[in-house]
Amino acid sequence: MFTDSAIFERVSHFKDVGIPATLNDPFNRAAIADGSCRSVQPNGEAWSLDGYAFWHHPDRVDKVIAAMQELPSTRTPSNMTITARKPAFSHDACYASSDNKTTTNITSFPLSDIQNSMQAWFRALCQEDFADPAYQPQQMALTVGYMCAITCDSNQHYFHSTFYKTYTSTEGGTWGARQAVCDNMPGYEPDFFAQTRSLKDVAYAVGPIYHEPCGCTPEP
């Protein structure tokens, strides 16, 4: 699913829009690093990175964001895409070592950031007639992946990167991931996550997608 055009669509958006908008937002910076690095893995192997490779490692996120800022301008789209796929970014930056002293989990993020982002992802996937939906295969795969990472983490359980192997190999697979979220969650409500008051509430709210499509488990 991560064709060159799909890589450009995601990474260019993250580079030009996402990074400037998240200078003081570590939660969505983690999402940007996660989505960008999964997009550019050789042979589309988004599952080669651990499920929490970035969500639990802010120092690794910083390295990826810095490397993204050094990529060629998106005004030269082929150059930017080809460079992002080269090992200097796809391997060296995306697999940068992490200082275990800085390892975190979902409790490190402000609840409001979690609520707002989960609502935005839910809307992009499931709100009918939304003007800017996550409808392209790479958009669906990464957006559902984000929701699943938070679903598992809020339940203090493990998010397996094999999710991506199951749902990103074919266009039908990515659509299936999106459909599983929209079918299993309650009908879309614009304040669904705003009604949560704690991480425990978030964990309960995402219970319907804990098993399918997310595949959360108590142990790695």
What pLDDT digit, counting tens, does each position of 110-160 carry? 999 999 999 999 999 999 999 999 999 999 999 999 999 999 999 999 999
Question: Are residue 84 and residue 128 in the same domain, yes or no?
Answer: no
Domain that residue 133 falls in: 107-209
Question: Are residue 97 and residue 119 in the same domain, yes or no?
Answer: no
Question: Are residue 38 and residue 61 in the same domain, yes or no?
Answer: yes
Which domain-ending residue is among 74, 102, 130?
102
Question: Are residue 74 and residue 115 in the same domain, yes or no?
Answer: no
What's the rounded Cα separation, in Å, for the pair 42 and 190?
A: 37
Question: Are residue 54 and residue 98 in the same domain, yes or no?
Answer: yes
Q: Residues 169-191: what's their mean pLDDT?
A: 92
The structural domain count of the chain equals 2
Q: What is the pTM of this model?
A: 0.96
Question: Are residue 8 and residue 98 in the same domain, yes or no?
Answer: yes
Question: Are residue 205 and residue 112 in the same domain, yes or no?
Answer: yes
Q: Judge contact between 142 and 135, C-beta under 8 A.
A: no
For residue 217, being part of any structural domain is answered with no
Instruction: Give the pLDDT score at 101.
Output: 67
Q: Residues 43-49: what's their mean pLDDT?
A: 94
Instruction: Give the pLDDT score at 31.
Output: 98
Which domain-ending residue is among 82, 102, 122?
102
Question: Are residue 69 and residue 20 in the same domain, yes or no?
Answer: yes
What's the rounded Cα separation, in Å, for the pair 182 and 23?
A: 31
Residue 12 has pLDDT above 90, yes or no: yes
Q: Judge contact between 38 and 174, C-beta under 8 A.
A: no
Question: Are residue 158 and residue 68 in the same domain, yes or no?
Answer: no
Which domain-ending residue is among 102, 121, 153?
102
Q: How many CA within 13 A on the CB side of residue 120?
A: 12
